[in-house]
Amino acid sequence: MKDLTRRERLTRSLYKPFRKTIWTPFMAAVLRYGLIREGDTVSLPEETGADTVLIGTLLRQLQAHGRTAFRLAEPGEAADCVAVTGCLSDAAERTVTGLLREGRLVSLLPMERLGGTRIIRPLYRIPREEIDAWAAYNGLPPVPVPEDARASAALLRSLRPVCPDIEKNVFAAVHQVDTDTFPQTEE
């Protein structure tokens, strides 16, 4: 049997053990939020950790097998779309941090605009624990929790025994906010 390259092993793992927990939520985010559009040039993040390696692996597979034609930018090339990290856990932690520390409802968005560039978060619907499981399977270190989110991450983790889907529930609640009926505060 042929020895697989690192990239081939990473890619294969998306379909064998991690199709349901990585590939399917990735595709759900791409389709639901329109992250990749026909003709886009997408800049990949520098592969510095498991999450950035995963983004590159997912987008290369989408480019090879997806229905939308897009191009991955060469390093240093200006692009109209930049892929960045930010998973479901990050979104839930940001919401909890905003509520508890700032007294306001905020969250990470799957897509934002910065000038004429779209910033996309392809891992938006994938929990950090699933990214860490994929990383461990592929011999990569786990994704660190950002410094400013550690308290919120610890709080959410402590609530898992009574509410196993706490991050998904926070994430879903933010998506169901009706801004027309949400109370406004005066500053």
pLDDT for 186: 59
The total domain count for the chain is: 1
CATH number at residue 52: 3.40.50.620
**Domain membership flag for residue 95:** yes
pLDDT in tens, 45-88: 888 899 999 999 999 999 999 899 999 999 889 899 999 999 99
**181 lies in some domain:** no
User: pLDDT digits over 89-115, tens only?
Assistant: 999 999 999 988 888 888 889 999 999
Quick check: is 33 in a domain?
A: yes
The answer as to whether 159 is a domain residue is: yes
150 within domain boundaries: yes
| Domain housing 23 | 6-175
Task: List, in order, residues 6 or more apart from 124 with CB less than 8 Å away.
Answer: 29, 33, 86, 87, 88, 91, 108, 110
Spatial separation of the C-alpha atoms in residues 44 and 24, rounded to whole Å: 20
Instruction: Quote the pTM value.
Output: 0.88
Flag whether 187 is in a domain.
Answer: no
